[in-house]
Amino acid sequence: MNGRDGAAPPASRFAASRASGVRRSNEPLVRLFHVTKSYGGGNVALRDVSLEVRKGELVFLTGPSGAGKTTLMKLLFAAEKPTEGQILVLGRNVGRLSERRVPALRRRVGVVFQDFKLIPTRTVEQNVALALEVVGRPPREVRSKVFAMLRRVGLQHRRHDLPPALSGGEQQRVALARPLLNDPAILVADEPTGNLDPELTIEIMDLIAAAAARGTTVMVATHDQNLIRRYARRTVRLEAGRLVEDRPAGGGR
């Protein structure tokens, strides 16, 4: 069974939710409904995937390379569109989102990648500030929020350094500070610890888990079975584009 409750919602509920823009408080923040994604040339990345994720949940997305994890995450922030099926993120049908509405979605859905994606010629502070500057926040607010966020991720002492001078773990903390600054409803992290050694992996994962504890809904794609065991959160497994397992938090090995 793919969906958490197994019940397929009638299509009209999607329409109603989209039309009103109002979500019931217990409604999942992320809902995939029979989603298939083909890239063409016979490359099917996701096959009939249904999934619901609720507010404040931390979900590990696992499975071998090529299973469709990145594709699933890209669908959540409208970097790709589903070929079939529907995806609701924060009550919006993201498969049908107009280009004009994508930036508003991305302010609420933060993203972290394995390779950090920092700007090497800007300081730590400037890299983090960018998240607020691009949405037009006043400089005073940017300064105070950036300072508070750098403290939260333990990097205030490195604020004037350039990313290449930082360790991998520090770079990933900067990369994480950026979306967290917008207090996203959803945080999507694609192999965020893939380039880090085990100690730094825990450091970053603790920051991600702390964001979930503050109410952010988090999805973390990872191959790292040690990480999955250690945190014992809900774990969704993909294989060849199919959702083959949905194990609840604390659900054993």
Binding site for ligand ADP (CB under 6 A): 39, 43, 45, 63, 65-71
Nearer to ligand ADP, 35 or 67 (CB): 67
> Which CB atom, from 74 or from 152, has the smaller least distance to ligand ADP?
74
Residue 63 C-beta: closest distance to ligand ADP, Å: 6
Rounded-to-integer distance, Cα 242 and Cα 226, Å: 23
Minimum gap (Å) between residue 56 Cβ and ligand ADP: 24
Amino acid at 182: N
Shortest Å, Cβ 219 to ligand ADP: 12
Identity of the residue, 17 or 114, whose beta carbon is nearer to ligand ADP in the bound complex: 114
| Nearer Cβ to ligand ADP (10/40) | 40
Residue 213 CA to residue 58 CA, distance in Å, equals 9
Q: Return the number of the residue (2 or 70) whose C-beta is nearest ligand ADP.
A: 70
d(CA 233, CA 46): 23
Question: Toward ligand ADP, which CB reaches closer, 69 or 233?
Answer: 69
Give the shortest CB-69-to-ligand ADP separation in angstroms: 4
Shortest distance (Å) from residue 114 CB to ligand ADP:
10
Of 41 and 250, the one with the shorter C-beta distance to ligand ADP is 41
Q: How far is the CB of 186 from ligand ADP (least distance, A)?
A: 18
Question: Least distance to ligand ADP from the beta carbon of 79, Å?
Answer: 10
Q: β-strand 84-89 against 58-62: which pairing, if any? A: unpaired
**Nearest by Cα to 131 from 70, 172, 184, 56:** 184
